[in-house]
Structures are given as C-alpha cells and as structure tokens.
Amino acid sequence: MSHARFPLLVLAAVAALALPGCEASFSIGGKTLNTDKAETEIAKGIKKQTGVDATVVCPDDVKIKKDDTFKCTATPKGGGKSAIVEVTQTDDEGNIHWELNPGQ
C-alpha cells in the first residue's frame, strides 16, 4: 500500500467510529481523573474497532465530576489527520464514555 493512500484509509476507518459511542467501564479515578489510563483505554478501543493504532492525548488535571466533559486528540501512529475524542464522565467514580469525531 502506498503511503499517500494510507491517511485516506486511516481516516475512513476512523470515520467508521463516528456513529457508535464507545463506553469504557473501568475506573480511572481518584479525585483527579487518571487521564493516562483514559488515553490508553481509548487507544485500545480505536484499535479494536478500526484496526488503526492511534496515539491519544487528553488534558491533565481533569477533576472527577459526573457529566463533565473534556476532549482528547487521537492521531494515527502512521501519520494522518487527527480526530477529536469527546469524553463524558458517567459517574463520580472515574468511569467514562467516549466518542470519536473525525470531522472536527
């Protein structure tokens, strides 16, 4: 496969995630969200659903609070367009729900 076509295929694969939401049912808590673990788990979810290895970067120092939201960035490891991951805290225990929005 040529490198010029790779980003288009990656984007197409990532775009497939735009429809379903992905819920992570793991605790990444404390008083401040363990965003390192969130990054790892979101990257695993992207890989599982699309086959694409991605690097996910989330903000540090996110306070745990039910229904609060924050955004992370997912970038294919082989290069390509980044996508925004919208994350919602589903409870006060550090559990999250995330959705990949490649169009942003």
Q: Which domain holds residue 25?
A: 6-101
Sheet containing strand 69-76, strands side by side:
22-24, 96-101, 83-89, 69-76, 54-57
Domain contains 51: yes
CA distance 12 to 90: 28
Domain contains 1: no
As for how many domains the chain has, the answer is: 1
58-80: pLDDT as tens digits:
999 899 999 999 999 999 998 88
26-60: pLDDT as tens digits:
455 458 999 999 999 999 999 998 899 999 999 99
Q: Are the C-beta atoms of residues 64 and 33 closer than 8 Å to each other?
A: yes
Domain contains 88: yes
